[in-house]
Structure 1
Amino acid sequence: MKELQPFKMSKRFENVKLISAAAAKTPHDLIPLSFGFPAKEAYDVSLMAKCSSKAIEEGGYKSFEYGGATGPSRIVKWLKKRSEIRGIYAPEENILVTTGSGQAMDILARGLTNEGDEVWVEAPTFFGALRNFTLAGLKCRGFEIDENGLKVDLVEEALVAAKNNGLPMPKFIYIMPNFHNPGGVTLSLERRMKLAKLALAYNFFIIEDDAYTELNFSERVLPAVYQFAPQRVIYMSTFSKTIAPAIRMGWLVAPPEIIMQLRSLKADGSTSVLMQEIVAAYLETIDFDDHVGNISKLYKSRLDAMIKAIDDYLGDEVTYTAPEGGFFLWLTFKEEVATSLFEELALEKGVSFILGEHCYAENEEKNHIRLCFSYCDEEMCKEAIKRIAEAYYEKYPVKKLV
């Protein structure tokens, strides 16, 4: 047989990074604080099996056709009603169900922009969003966050400078206002209102990624940014954090002209109608408020255990803002620390995390790590922090671990 010649792969995406924590060979007893998985206890496997059978039996053969039975329309009605909690009052035709939030970001990036356009993001931001925007050929510019979320004053300054000097304006600004990934912070009400006003004044869209909003540890529920500028805000969320990531189901709320544009880019036509049938049956069976309340209590307990371990083992070596919900804690070491220097050692000790540098579009900061507290129980969270501390002190021996 003739020997095959080497095949030349595409060079279009050479700048897309592989995150090492995703590919590393690790011990069997690894404690994964890297990727954002829900807790195993959050899944009601038996109930989901019953709802699957119910959906198929009630929908019959239509459940297996392209259009499905009534599940897709029931999902949209449920989403419309649920959105009102956050001040989103939109007709059903303004809601588009997507195959996960990843597809939502993909079609938004391609539908709102041309290759080479500039988009603005938080610094840090979700590395998955950066990946989607890079694949779409966009230029990302980052703006700092603090304990109150995106520093909107910096955005305003940049908009004024761009307008006055003929510099590129953003086609959209991507934000995570509630329980930010990775920062854990929440955008203040004042900043939400101001950012919405800027979008209207400077004619850009805000992509409001609200993936973690249901996982709230406090009594505080802030209105969506969408409420203040529905003409220039696209709201998106997902069932991956509240039901299960494997169902691959998210959604968008946007003006009708945007929905029409996005439908044309949705290569799979319609998100799995069979899964929409099943999820509709599931949502109609459970008390959703009780469900998200219970898993939020579980995650708060795990966060508290992680924070106590950080205080015990790392103390003044790090700073953080305790999140009021979500999955993630953003840990900041001193400026001279490069967390990549002890990442491999931590993996050898059996714990993974995400390097903070992956969460920056530009001007990468090297002294952060992102920790997921949702998946591991309290004892595993404590042990994971102990192992991270051991790895850190081996590279930066400022004191001995007690």
Structure 2
Amino acid sequence: MKKYLDILTDIEQKINEGQFASGQKLPSVRNAAKLYGCSANTIARAYVELEKCHAIYSIAQSGYYVVEKLGKRLNVTESKTVDFSSVSPDPSVFPYLDFQHCLNKALDTYKYDLFTCGNSKGLETLRQTLVSHLAGYQVFAKMEQIIITSGANQALEILAKIPFPNGNSVILVEQPSYDIYLRFLEAEGIPVQGITRTTAGIDLRELEEKFRQGGIKFFYTMPRHHSPLGTSYSADERRAIARMASKYDVYVVEDDYMADLGEEPGTDPIYAYNRTSHIVYLKSFSKIIFPGLRLGAAVLPEKLLESFCEYKRYADTSQLSQAALEVYIKNGMYDRHKRKICSQYAARIRALNEAVRQYNDAGLLSISDVRSGVYVQFKLPQTVNLERLIERLAAKDIVVVSGKQFYLSNYLEREKFLRISISRAQPEQIEEGVREIIEEVRREVKSPSMV
């Protein structure tokens, strides 16, 4: 990692924590270079980038100062509600000013071209930019393989409907899994089967047997930061899935929607382990920037390109949004924001884990081992009345989500759990929220009612 990015991140963190107050003058370039043990040029670059991010400003012949904040932008921390349910990013970390700059830059660069319908495959310059961007995730693809979609959901819906080269029709899904996609498959009457996945992983022998039996069109999986479990597959599991896909001619749709939110070094996507083009790689930009952007990217094997593009006949994503995203990635703002949001979410996960260690001394809850991402599974005793628990927590302004909705309607092998999201749970609220959840579970265990 470049030294100036480490310095930039450290200064941003000090500003956010109040160590550098609004309007305060930062150390001079020379003094900061001594402080960080680097060259003056490195500090100067970090300060210039911070100025571009609207975190600091410069005064000629005087120095750099922290931008004065005019109050809390969205007052999210003033709410008494502890929100463990929301899946969208915390509005307080949305890169409004950065993206506004990118929108203006895109307009200056492309002008009238942005007001045409565009290409159904997406803005060519963005797709070219994504070639190198995705390579950073060990997804090496040609521009022709990358299709811009209106979020990952659009790609998932198209893939469910188009024919695949293997001629099969059944979609295999992890259980539990992404609830919106499960409801879509059921509503459309698309053949679907489930396979159990827990915080311990997936039974690879059972998965191979399902692949061997035939009929599987593709296996839909979230290999890292799984929703709702929060856990990730090991490198060995990803490698095994890639091998089985090739061996049994089963495609894998890899939904890497949270690739940006922290991962152990060296843990590559399934895509990187497959050499027979049986992997469809999906990436969303909603979790790292903001949901309203509605942009995603699908990396498709060449055998699927024609049918996918035939189904997606027209341009349905904003040319302006695509151009702004291109600028956002190319000027380094995307990587800077990723570091910022990863740091904040990791701190919230640590606070959650610490609260669980402090209050779950009786072991009432089984907690998934999660250190990054936004989701954690709180597995409950079978005697707990889940609906009543959620109602009691809501009465205390603690909002949680039942694990029931993340299963196919006819899937019987279910765990009883709460899906906890730290995305919008403010750090100062997390300890109290966890304490109350454990207290209410304790009450339920004392007065059980099977559901």
Relative to the length of structure 1, the TM-score reads: 0.83
Query: Residues 93 and 393 (structure 1 numbering): CA distance in 2 closer, same or farther, change over 3 Å?
Result: same
CA RMSD of aligned residues (A): 2.4
2:341 pairs with 1:295? yes
CA distance in 2, matches of 1:254, 1:366: 34
Q: 2:266 aligns to what? A: 221
Which letter does structure 2 place at the counterpart of 1:333?
Answer: L
Q: 1:130 aligns to what? A: 182
Higher deviation after alignment, 100-109 or 75-84: 75-84
Mark the structure with the bigger radius of gyration: 2
**1:138, CA displacement in angstroms?**
2.0
Q: 1:159 aligns to what? A: 211
Higher deviation after alignment, 227-236 or 142-151: 142-151
CA distance in 2, matches of 1:254, 1:47: 31
- State the Cα deviation string for residues 211-245 of structure 1 (Å, max 9, x = none): 111111x5423122112325211000100111111
Q: 2:374 aligns to what? A: 327
**1:330, CA displacement in angstroms?**
0.9
Q: Give the one of 390, 394, 397 matched to 1:347.
A: 394
**1:366, CA displacement in angstroms?**
5.0
Q: 2:437 aligns to what? A: 388
1:59 match: secondary structure: helix
Which letter does structure 2 place at the counterpart of 1:340?
Answer: E
2:109 pairs with 1:58? yes
What aligned pairs does 1:24-39 form with structure 2 within 5 A after superposition? 29-39=80-90
Q: 1:82 aligns to what? A: 133
2:368 match: secondary structure: coil
- State the Cα deviation string for residues 98-121 of structure 1 (Å, max 9, x = none): 00111111111112479x942211
Q: 2:91 aligns to what? A: 40
CA distance in 2, matches of 1:44, 1:317: 39
Q: Is the 8 A contact 1:109 1:136 kept in 2?
A: no
**1:287, CA displacement in angstroms?**
4.1
CA distance in 1, matches of 2:270, 2:264: 19
Q: Give the one of 354, 365, 373 matched to 2:414.
A: 365
Q: Give the one of 93, 97, 100 matched to 2:151.
A: 100
Q: Give the one of 399, 409, 423 matched to 1:374.
A: 423
Identity across the alignment (%): 24
What aligned pairs does 1:122-201 form with structure 2 within 5 A after superposition? 122-147=174-199, 149-160=201-212, 162=213, 169-201=215-247
CA distance in 2, matches of 1:135, 1:105: 14
Q: Is the 8 A contact 2:152 2:283 kept in 1?
A: yes
Q: Is the 8 A contact 1:340 1:366 kept in 2?
A: no
1:171 match: secondary structure: strand
Q: 2:307 aligns to what? A: 261
Q: Is the 8 A contact 1:317 1:334 kept in 2?
A: yes
**1:398, CA displacement in angstroms?**
7.5
Which letter does structure 2 place at the counterpart of 1:350?
Answer: D
**1:338, CA displacement in angstroms?**
3.8
Q: Is the 8 A contact 2:328 2:334 kept in 1?
A: no
2:216 match: secondary structure: coil
Q: Is the 8 A contact 1:94 1:256 kept in 2?
A: yes
Q: 1:22 aligns to what? A: none
Structure 1 unmatched runs, 5+: 1-27, 164-168
2:355 pairs with 1:309? yes
Query: Residues 322 and 233 (structure 1 numbering): CA distance in 2 closer, same or farther, change over 3 Å?
Result: same
Relative to the length of structure 2, the TM-score reads: 0.74
